[in-house]
Chain A
């Protein structure tokens, strides 16, 4: 049993950790470690994406290999609207709406497919999206991409009069939205819908026999997950001020799956650990510790390492590094 004091202690240290993390950009700003702020903010952005992947892969057990398509739709929606003078706080819901709508329309027919076929179809959709962005020159400017920097029409990004420009500002914006996303996921997980999703994941046939409306609930998860991609895409477009189709390749989608699998499918802390490790690994390889195995070469080898990690995880630890906690019924009084 956990005693109240122990519980208080663990909450206390968790609080201290979060506070230290949130204060980090203010300390690092202006020092030679300022690049860390950008990496942390990037981790937050991928955290949002990974939450979306986790929603379908971890909660419902559907492997999506084209998730980046919806990130792209979110990013391009914001980029195109911004170039026409629409403010960010209108672009954000528009991006979410665009991503969710496209994904729900796609999910309606394809979710009837069995597991591995669904993965291939999502992969196909991801590639179609990228090819379309690459070739639809009149709208997307093709492979050259859209730049928001050179245009005077783009309204400045403000939050109640406070301008959001630097990496530190985006750090706080991203982590505020990530916290919101975590809250939504945690609440969903413990809701009636969340339990129905898990029933589908563990045995769809049995779940249907118990009266779970599997097709509708699957599409709900599918659509909701795109909302995360839409938010992340909108931020990405305004943060980078530049979108190009090459940011949204199949390998990026595979990397997201790797993050979720590494951390632990269905486990929120696990997903964050997975994101931090996979985005942090190149930085660690680049640092002095690994220079003896060839610096830049080691950074190039990171995908090789990710591939090996995926295979090893599938074989030795399919539940991930920080697996989801299985809620058990209380086993009597202890």
Chain B
């Protein structure tokens, strides 16, 4: 195999790994948007919160704690981020639910500033993310596959599968879809709308928290401001797939990850890679605001 296609294969693999993380975060944006038609601007902090919670939990355990500790770290991080998401909704969003569009956005920026600086005050430098399992690499055709990459892609796909099952097949999932379609009518039909909203925030936050742990494992550290860039990129992924659309967020996440990784592989300066996501975001919003899988909805009068 020639070196060019090896580079492409390697970057494809990196892209899928990144994409899995983006897709998990994007699901949080898209779920909240689907139910409340609101951009949860502080969602990137839930991702950071999960990463920090996971790192903190693992730092209390012995260094070679093994797979069980890793699973436990995921549970802790997802719980921490999920609960924080519910608190965020109660404190910052619920009181302004009926005001103009601008007010919840301002409240969200405030919450984002608050959460980021809460962690900043606790620790202003980066914190190492413990690796409970030794990472093995194995050759797979022309490229070397890292065990972590397999784990992240597999884990994110499994979580997405569980979410799809929940939304499509369970009663609560049905209630969620009903609220997304029309909250007022759903309430008249006896659906506990507030509980559905709380659950939506919990699940969105938990998925973000899981992504935070994966990100920590992959890059080896967590920091108070780690949420900003992945947050904007995941939002781009959600918009790319069609905001409010679950399969769209997954597709958008993987697509953006791959595009970014391929772009990085061929760019002279790696820092320009962040421009990619923003450029994609602006172009999608300008030319196809409904995204790849989203339906065209006329603005309500």
Residues of A within 8 A of B (CB): 61, 63, 65, 109-110, 112-117, 119-121, 123-125, 127-128, 131-132, 134-135, 205, 250-251, 254, 257-258, 261, 297, 300-301, 303-304, 306-315, 318
Contacts and interface: CB of A to CB of B under 8 A. Distances in A.
Contacts of B301: 205
B111 interface: yes
Interface in B105-134: 105-107, 109-118, 120-121, 124
Interface in B27-49: 38-39
B121 A310 contact: no
Interface residues of B, number: 45
Contact of A250 (B95, B102, B228, B275): B228
B100 to A, nearest CB: 8
B121 A127 contact: no
B111 A311 contact: yes
A115 B114 contact: no
Contacts, number: 128
B39 A309 contact: no
Contact of B110 (A65, A119, A125, A308): A308
B208 interface: no
B117 A132 contact: no
B272 to A, nearest CB: 6
Interface stretch (B178-186, B198-206, B281-289): B281-289
Nearest to B228: A250
Contact of B286 (A109, A120, A125, A304): A109
A153 B279 CA distance: 37
Nearest to B279: A128
B282 A261 contact: no
Given A120-B39, A304-B118, A307-B112, A314 B275 contact: no
A314 B107 contact: yes
A119 to B, nearest CB: 6
A306 B279 CA distance: 30
A169 B282 CA distance: 42
